[in-house]
Amino acid sequence: MTEPDSTLVRCERTAEGVDVVTLANGKVNALSTEVLSQLRAVLVGLRDQAARAIVLTGGPKVFAAGADITEFVERGGDEPFAVAPPDRVAKIGDGFLHALGELAAMPCPTIAAVNGVALGGGCELALACDFRISSTRARFGQPEILLGIIPGGGGTQRLARLIGPARAKDLVLSGRAVDAEEARSIGLVDRVVDGDALDAALQLAGVYARGPRAAIALAKRAVDGGLDLPLADGLALEQELFVDSFATGDAAVGVRSFLRDGPGVADFG
């Protein structure tokens, strides 16, 4: 890997063509408005560079502990801990909406490698990825209710779509955290590893990075775009993108390779 830069969100590309995005905002990786802004900028850059696969990770003990709560209160005055006015809260919420929306909309596969705590906005950040790989040390949860507020970065929406409304309500309404094994059992996490989640995520990302970039982007659009459509409309979307896939360079390479050399040996580099 190349040496990372020194921003709050670091990005480096491995020799296998996987882009590793690392949160680097102190020990707890609080998702401040500046962190979210930098994250969005990094993702936009990776989209422009036609990234093949992205692994998102944080620290060894804390993936991301959530929003920077200090941004939600007034500073100074007679009540220094008074809740910030709605316009400031809305601005912070927009930061989550746009950064996590950019992550969810990336045309390449995205994998969250979670080695530690992923609570609140940290859990929501992982939810915006296509896959979540967790170490046995990780914990997940949406504790916003314990502050008298609700999740604002997808915790009531992406979580419910991923694990079902009843289980999502349990986590959101109680604010409780779940360990890695429970997260896997309810479908919040795709895989739990004993060692470093980053190593496992890089292995999986390497498989996607070697695949047909254009076809993978179309397949991802088909799955994500069809989730909230009636089945007939989803099938129509699939057919449209199926036809589109034959017009890509990936199809030319893959079909030619299949006819000439057999299946599974095409080089999409």
Structural domains in the chain, sorted by start: 9-209 (3.90.226.10), 213-261 (1.10.12)
Residue from 67, 138, 209, 222 carrying the catalytic annotation: 67
Across the range 128-134, mean pLDDT stands at: 98
DSSP 8-state secondary structure symbol assigned to residue 67:
B
pLDDT at residue 76 in the model: 62
Q: Is 67 labeled as catalytic in the residue annotation?
A: yes
Residue in 59, 116, 124, 168 annotated catalytic? 124
Check pLDDT > 50 for residue 221. yes
* Residue 81 or 28, more confident: 28
Q: pLDDT tens digits for 139-194?
A: 999 999 999 999 999 999 999 999 999 999 999 999 999 999 999 999 999 999 99
The SS3 call for residue 32 is coil
- Cα torsion 227, 232, 235, 237 to 10°: value is -70
Distance CA 155, CA 151 (A): 5
| Selected catalytic residue, list 141, 144, 155, 209 | 144
**Residue 226 pLDDT > 60, yes or no?**
yes
pLDDT tens readout for residues 65-123: 888 888 888 766 677 678 877 888 888 889 999 999 999 999 999 999 999 999 999 99
- From the list 58, 121, 211, 254, the catalytic residue is 121
CA–CA distance from 179 to each of 117, 144, 234 (Å)? 9, 18, 35
What is the pLDDT confidence band of residue 248, given thresholds at 50, 70 and 90? very high
Q: Identify whether 181 is a catalytic site residue.
A: no
pLDDT at 85: 78
